[in-house]
Chain A
Amino acid sequence: GAVVSQHPSWVICKSGTSVKIECRSLDFQATTMFWYRQFPKQSLMLMATSNEGSKATYEQGVEKDKFLINHASLTLSTLTVTSAHPEDSSFYICSARDKAPEAFFGQGTRLTVV
């Protein structure tokens, strides 16, 4: 399958600071990228969908000013958690797809806000 690389795999930050997570499609051009959040023992919750060169579409209840998404190229999307608080601690996962239905996922990022 196609390869999606997510970085960093884990990060600890202080409350009030911002954290940037990168998602790269390594061997294909991702027309669409998705950002998910997973709480312990729960399913993946879609946060937002981004298409290259356009603004992200956020799911209901997701604060767009808090979770900034940039999809500047066909191989890179970034998620910035601004002014992070302990309740933002979670496992964040990106996925990417081209025109095919299958989406491929990054390794995930464990964010801990202290």
Chain B
Amino acid sequence: DQQVKQNSPSLSVQEGRISILNCDYTNSMFDYFLWYKKYPAEGPTFLISISSIKDKNEDGRFTVFLNKSAKHLSLHIVPSQPGDSAVYFCAALYGKLTFGQGTILTVHP
């Protein structure tokens, strides 16, 4: 039972453009959502989070949007840079973190 889903395995974007990474969840009890960035053979790096009582959180080039009615969140990266190329995981928290499958983002120069 996949409670957190990232339906796009990969995303390719031109440098300078916007990257939009999507995530859907099924458990309405999740009270916090987080995005992590991961390189191969390394642990995930925390990027940004949002409480379930908010609908937007912004930190520099990263913005996370939460639509509770649709049980959907997204991460916007503007402008995208080649160094953003990595695997991005969304995670939802209710006692413990549940991760999506990840989306491979490639930003082309």
Contacts and interface: CB of A to CB of B under 8 A. Distances in A.
Interface stretch (B14-22, B44-52, B64-72): B44-52
Contact of B96 (A4, A6, A49, A107): A49
A101 B95 CA distance: 9
Interface stretch (A13-21, A38-46, A78-86): A38-46
Interface in A15-30: none
A43 B99 contact: yes
Instruction: Determine which residue in A34, A42, A102, A107 has the highest number of CB atoms from chain B within 10 A of its CB, and name it.
Output: A102
A42 B96 CA distance: 19
Nearest to B43: A105
B43 A108 contact: yes
B32 interface: yes
Interface residues of B, number: 21
A105 B35 CA distance: 13
Nearest to A110: B41
Interface of A: 1, 4, 6, 34, 42-44, 46, 49, 91, 93-95, 101-108, 110
Given A34-B96, A102-B46, A104-B46, 6 more contacts: A43-B99, A44-B99, A46-B96, A101-B93, A102-B34, A105-B45
Interface of B: 31-32, 34, 36, 41-46, 49, 51, 89, 93, 96-102
14 contacts: A1-B45, A4-B43, A34-B96, A34-B97, A46-B96, A91-B41, A93-B44, A101-B34, A101-B93, A103-B46, A104-B46, A105-B43, A108-B41, A108-B42
